[in-house]
Amino acid sequence: MSQRVLTTRTLTTESGAPVADNQNSASAGIGGPLLIQDQHLLEKLARFNRERIPERVVHARGSGAYGHFEVTDDVTGFTHADFLSTVGKRTEVFLRFSTVADSLGGADAVRDPRGFALKFYTEEGNYDLVGNNTPVFFIKDPIKFPDFIHSQKRDPFSGRQEPDNVWDFWAHSPEATHQVTWLMGDRGIPASYRHMDGFGSHTYQWTNGKGESFFVKYHFKTDQGIRCLTADQAAELAGQDPTSHQTDLVQAIERGVYPSWTLHVQLMPVAEAANYRFNPFDVTKVWPHADYPLKRVGRLVLDRNPDNVFAEVEQAAFSPNNFVPGIGPSPDKMLQGRLFAYADAHRYRLGVNHTQLAVNAPKAVPGGADNYGRDGLMASHSRGRDAKNYEPNSYDGPVETGRPLAAPLAVSGHTGTHAAPQHTKDDDFLQAGELYRLMSEDERKRLIANIAGGLSQVSRGDVVEKNLAHFHAADTEYGRRVEEAVRALRED
């Protein structure tokens, strides 16, 4: 039997020089002050000081995994996207889950929407679908987003999330009532990332090979079934294991229990959007399934954990403007704002060359993206010697295709700061009321208790009254029960 020979690896500095002593710093004599000439000490401390990059302002606390998406149903009549072109075709993916409001050190089991950001490594480039575990959102215009997040994050003075800030913003944003009803309901705290649905939330555009266009909404239905936590269960779990969702995801994949989701879409012919009864591009609303039924597309499976959470989860960069041929944007105002904001956030956090990192690099082109971007912090592509950094050129550089990714969007009217166009049934409260009426009596009781628990802590009576008016407008019973529950808690 042959013995395995163990080789000794040499510890080196960043420049590759061997390290003589990794236990003792260089000093001026025994017990004397340390020397600035100790390259290894200074380099080691300086590197340690820089181990962390700026955390995401939102979606800071995240988990992720690799897997694949497999097409199960023919959708070529709606899109010519290559990765959706053939039943049975598989595409590698990376999925990042996250909480939204808390910091990187926050607990997983909290009442908060969950991010559901999916990167498809397609043969035509990376396609990023950046959504949540709810089909709607709190606001409909990106100009309100910084204010919304400031109201939900830790207060600059107290250093904690303040009910006064949270509910004051919602009091001035009636369109948030639908999402607040989702958040405060039973699905507000998923039991794990595996046991929740994912949604594209926004409206997107699909274009088929004939140039016909459809507006589309994505629904990833968990194959594990929906499981959620009550407020008491979540508080206990967050104290016992703050990383409970991360732990569950890693352990499930390691033991071969691969989480999966079935993708369905809703499809609206472009011509129907203008006269639909409410604005179909309003992310605070859902499209009723009776109007646009779910159509199955394929199955998403996660089967491999990242080797390094920092390199592959923290540095994973998703941007809604990463489209591929056959898929494009819609006039959804929140989506339009995210087309800029996400990519810009990554340029700040990770640098202008963040797409050269392994988790973000497109697999469609050998050696990474082929364009005329040059240099910048942490550039890893040399493209030196005879490679030109301009276009057009006479030296066989990459050229444009002349083929747009999706169909153009029709525009008209004058520039200006316009409110969203009004459709016949546009309303901020109707769908919140419909969601409430879909709930069982036990679900309603928990919803009322969750809302009252937060709203009763608000110090200003006028803010409480403004929020109560929203629930009354959604449903008479809903408003009455919230008002009674808040009054009872405030009188205690």
Q: Give the active site residues.
A: 59, 132
Q: Which residues contact 32 (CB under 8 A, 6 or more apart)?
A: none
C-alpha–C-alpha distance, residues 401 and 124, integer Å: 12
**Pick from 464, 469, 406: nearest CA to 163:** 464
CA distance 456 to 467: 11
Angle, in degrees to the nearest 10, between helices 476-491 and 461-474 = 150
CA dist., res. 299 & res. 315, Å (int): 26
User: Do 364 and 125 touch, CB atoms closer than 8 A?
Assistant: yes
For residues 90 and 67, give the distance between their C-alpha atoms in angstroms, rounded to a whole number: 10
**b vs e for 57-74, b when ≥16 Cβ sit within 10 Å of the residue's Cβ?**
ebbbbbbbbbbbbbbeee
Q: Which of 93, 115, 112, 94 is nearest to 102 (CA)?
A: 112
Distance separating the N- and C-terminal Cα atoms of the chain: 78
Residue 185 neighbours by CB under 8 Å, 6+ apart = 435, 439, 443, 446, 447, 450
Q: CA 15 → CA 12, 52, 357, distances in Å?
A: 8, 21, 21
Distance CA 186, CA 198 (A): 16
Beta bridge partners of 264: 219, 296
Beta-carbon contacts of residue 154 (< 8 Å; ≥ 6 apart) = 103, 160, 161
Query: Which runs of E-coded beta strand occur in 56-158?
Result: 62-71, 90-99, 114-122, 125-132
**CB-CB neighbours of 164 under 10 Å:** 15
Q: Is 292 known to sit in a ligand binding site?
A: no
Packing angle of the helix pair 476-491, 430-438 (nearest 10 deg): 80
The amino acid present at 175, given as its one-letter code, is: E
d(CA 442, CA 389): 64
Binding-site entries for heme? 342
